[in-house]
């Protein structure tokens, strides 16, 4: 399989690229920081890895890069569209940074159980077991929906009006005190293992 990963120079993109390479897949690693892509390439000598320095917000550059891929990488099977910017938009359309002040990224993504590559035949059942914010604590409606999907029942809902409108849950308020040190352990305290 040939996988194109955007934002592959750091964070999730780099981790995803590594996982696919370790599993023996060909990877096209795309990012703006060429030196980090080169470091990834040095980490995986002899693996089917093609790096492309590219800003994916530049449409013409993306089209040019795709059209000039080496033939061994030209038939992309999977796109992991991970590239992104720390931006939000004001109502007037101007950009605003999501993070203000000091921000220290974690050295690795925080997972209760790191994601694993699975054969396609196992993905459906895995998704049904793990879908949702709290799969270990599903309510009656979630359990009913999962059962209907397993049984091949149910239907596509085209409008909230078909099912009585949007739910109106009562608001829940909770203070959030972010620690100054050991943020990784603090974040892990919110993640419950699904084992």
pLDDT (0 to 100) of residue 18? 93
Q: Where are the domains of the chain?
A: 2-90, 108-155+179-195
Q: Which residues of the chain have pLDDT under 70?
A: 85-115, 192-195
At 52-105, the pLDDT tens digits run: 999 887 888 888 898 899 999 988 888 888 887 655 556 666 665 555 555 555
pLDDT (0 to 100) of residue 90? 62
What is the CATH architecture assignment of 2-90?
Answer: 3-Layer(aba) Sandwich (3.40)
What is the pTM assigned to this prediction? Answer: 0.47
The secondary structure of the chain as a DSSP string is -EEEEESTTSHHHHHHHHHHHHTT-EEEEEES-HHHHHHHHHHSTTSSEEEEE--TT-HHHHHHHHHT--GGG-S--EEE-----SEEE-TTS-EEES--S-----SS---SS------HHHHHHHHHHH-SS-GGG--HHHHHHHHHHHHT-------GGGGTS---PPP--------SS-HHHHHHTT-----
pLDDT (0 to 100) of residue 195? 44
């Amino acid at each position: 399989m040939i996988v194109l990963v955007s934002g592959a120079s750091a964070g999730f993109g780099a981790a995803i690229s590594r996982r696919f390479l370790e599993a023996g897949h060909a990877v096209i690693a795309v990012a703006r920081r060429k030196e980090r892509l080169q470091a990834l390439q040095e980490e995986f000598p002899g693996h089917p890895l093609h790096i492309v320095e590219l800003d994916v917000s530049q449409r013409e550059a993306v089209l040019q890069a795709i059209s000039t891929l080496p033939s061994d990488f030209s038939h992309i099977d999977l796109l992991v569209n991970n590239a992104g910017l720390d931006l939000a938009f004001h109502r007037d359309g101007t950009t605003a940074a999501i993070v203000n002040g000091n921000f220290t990224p974690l050295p690795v993504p925080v997972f209760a159980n790191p994601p694993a590559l699975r054969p396609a035949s196992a993905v459906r059942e895995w998704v049904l077991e793990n879908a949702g914010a709290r799969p270990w604590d599903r309510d009656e409606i979630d359990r009913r929906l999962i059962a209907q999907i397993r049984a091949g029942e149910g239907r596509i809902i085209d409008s909230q009006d078909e099912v009585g409108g949007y739910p109106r849950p009562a608001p829940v308020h909770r203070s959030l005190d972010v620690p100054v040190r050991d943020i990784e352990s603090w974040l892990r305290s919110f993640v419950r293992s699904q084992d």
